[in-house]
């Protein structure tokens, strides 16, 4: 990887892809022009979302998209990673994305399409032919996703080269179906593991119908899991969480099989009979790149079942997103925290990039999300500091052989932050939610200079 250090600066390769990322439900609004998703239902369930906030208007991107594309161009972005709303496509709204892709290309911005960023159509969650409930625990949803992927590919595949099937399937499976802090708010450990498998299956099925000329990846949120001590018990806690956070996806994706220790750890939760012959091979499609979303590491130790509050950074409920791991405790790392109470520790990003470089030699990597929530101020030196630290270790990973081709900052705009509503701000562009006025923060100007020069 051609990286250099000169005159105190870290220089990235000339062709490095500098971008920003968003998600449909978080920014688009225009809820009346699409069908309902599980997040619309979740938002209307009392107590689930901060302040009763919804995505009905969000930051009105469906109306202001041309302004937002001009803003991206002014910031010198070379790529934009956005998600397509499955409910909007079902309502005949694919034309919005068709026009968006054309507008991006007219400004020289490469579109990177994410097919699924958590907004499952409510009709697929409500029920299934089996009568056992619907959603990702049901195999039918994976096939419905493949049909949806084919529809989007037919409309956009002639102009879009970079595709991401799923964004953070760990959150969809375990926060949505085990802990209930995300939509649809179910709390069944067995269903969460079924959901994880069917999300994996959905990736494989969708990858098979996307254009053969495209580069297809998946955006995981792998966890840099660290043991509190070097004791055998803490090292085993780390192994157990690594299986649930990481290898439940990378096992079939990269190696064509679920890890045996995961199956053993969760045997009391499920017998994994929902994995049918041939599924793991189908999931193991060739990847054009692996997307890595990184924010903070995890610190774990052994603990008696039910001991103390769970400090895993994924919301506090009486239900764990870690099936079969009740005897694992999570610990708040020391040091600087973001407004999400997440530890600022860029070394986790380095560790993950080098891990995948070793685990899947030659597989291109993308940092598909990285960023931080801070106060709503226009001058945001903390965010700049966060980004500088993480990009410095990204540069080090590339110098050490990690084949990283691009970086997508989360996020372009302040937006609806899921169960936190509008109370957390990740944007390098400030949004006045009352007027929808966009104002670039100091971090936006800083990032624009980086995107133009490639020099940190």
Structure tokens at 411: 């996020």
CB under 8 Å to 245, separation ≥6 — which residues? 170, 222, 223, 225, 298
Annotation marks residue 168 as catalytic: yes
> Which of 369, 388, 405, 417 is flagged as catalytic?
369
Phi-psi category of residue 108: left, alpha or beta, with phi > 0 → left and psi -120 to 50 → alpha: left
Structure tokens at 143: 């096939």
Question: How far apart are alpha carbons 403 and 1 in whole angstroms?
Answer: 7
> Which of 103, 138, 168, 280 is flagged as catalytic?
168
DSSP letter string over 118-166? S--BHHHHH--TTSS--STTSHHHHHHHHHHHHHHHHHHTTT--EEEEE
Alpha carbon of 403 to those of 9, 284, 398, 443: distances in Å? 20, 20, 6, 26
Rg of the Cα trace of the chain?
21
Give strand pairing partners of 121: 37
Annotation marks residue 154 as catalytic: no
Question: Measuring CA to CA, which residue among 391, 352, 375, 366 is closest to residue 441?
Answer: 375
CB under 8 Å to 33, separation ≥6 — which residues? 62, 88, 91, 93
| Backbone CA torsion sign across 363, 313, 275, 210 | negative
Question: How far apart are alpha carbons 441 and 253 in whole angstroms?
Answer: 38
Our CA dihedral for 186, 188, 189, 192, rounded to 10 degrees, sits at: -50
Question: How far apart are alpha carbons 373 and 382 in whole angstroms?
Answer: 9
User: For 212-266, where are the alpha helices, taking DSSP H only?
Assistant: 232-242, 248-250, 260-265
The set of catalytic residues is 168, 369
């Amino acid at each position: 990887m051609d990286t250099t250090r000169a005159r105190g600066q870290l220089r990235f390769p000339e062709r490095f892809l500098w971008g920003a990322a968003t998600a449909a439900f978080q920014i688009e609004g225009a809820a009346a022009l699409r069908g309902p998703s599980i997040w619309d239902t979740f938002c209307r369930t009392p107590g689930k979302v901060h302040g009763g906030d919804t995505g009905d208007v969000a930051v009105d991107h469906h109306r202001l998209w041309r302004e937002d594309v001009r803003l991206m161009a002014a910031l010198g972005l070379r790529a934009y990673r956005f998600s397509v709303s499955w409910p909007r496509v079902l309502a005949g709204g694919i034309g919005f994305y068709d026009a968006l892709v054309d507008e991006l290309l007219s400004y020289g911005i490469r579109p990177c399409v994410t097919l699924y960023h958590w907004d499952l159509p409510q009709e697929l969650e409500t029920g299934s032919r089996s009568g056992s409930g619907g959603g990702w625990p049901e195999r039918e949803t994976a096939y419905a996703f493949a049909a949806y992927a084919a529809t989007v590919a037919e409309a956009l595949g002639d102009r879009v080269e970079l595709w991401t099937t799923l964004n953070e399937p760990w959150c969809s499976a375990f926060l949505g179906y085990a802990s209930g802090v995300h939509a649809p708010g179910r709390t069944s450990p067995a269903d969460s593991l079924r959901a994880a498998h069917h999300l994996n299956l959905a990736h494989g099925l969708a990858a098979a119908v996307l254009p053969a000329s495209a580069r297809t990846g998946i955006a995981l949120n792998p966890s840099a899991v660290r043991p509190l001590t070097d004791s055998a018990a803490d090292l085993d806690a780390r192994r157990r969480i690594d299986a649930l956070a990481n290898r439940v996806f990378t096992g079939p994706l990269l190696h064509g099989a679920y890890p045996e220790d995961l199956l053993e750890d969760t045997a009391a939760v499920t017998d994994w009979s929902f994995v049918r012959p041939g599924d793991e091979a189908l999931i193991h499609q060739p990847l054009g790149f692996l997307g890595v979303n990184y924010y903070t590491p995890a610190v774990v130790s052994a603990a008696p079942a039910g001991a103390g509050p769970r400090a895993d950074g994924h919301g506090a409920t009486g239900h764990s997103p870690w099936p079969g791991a009740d005897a694992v405790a999570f610990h708040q790392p020391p040091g600087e925290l973001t407004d999400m109470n997440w530890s600022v520790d860029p070394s986790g990003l380095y560790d993950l990039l080098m891990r995948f470089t070793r685990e899947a030699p030659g597989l291109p990597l993308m940092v598909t999300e990285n960023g931080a929530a801070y106060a709503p101020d226009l001058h945001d030196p903390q965010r700049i500091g966060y980004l500088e630290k993480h990009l410095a270790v990204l540069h080090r990973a590339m110098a050490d052989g990690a084949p990283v081709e691009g970086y997508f900052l989360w996020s372009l705009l302040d937006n609806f932050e899921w169960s936190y509503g509008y109370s957390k701000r990740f944007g390098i562009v400030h949004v006045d939610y009352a007027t929808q006025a966009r104002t670039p923060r100091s971090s936006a100007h800083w990032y624009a200079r980086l995107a133009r020069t490639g020099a940190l």
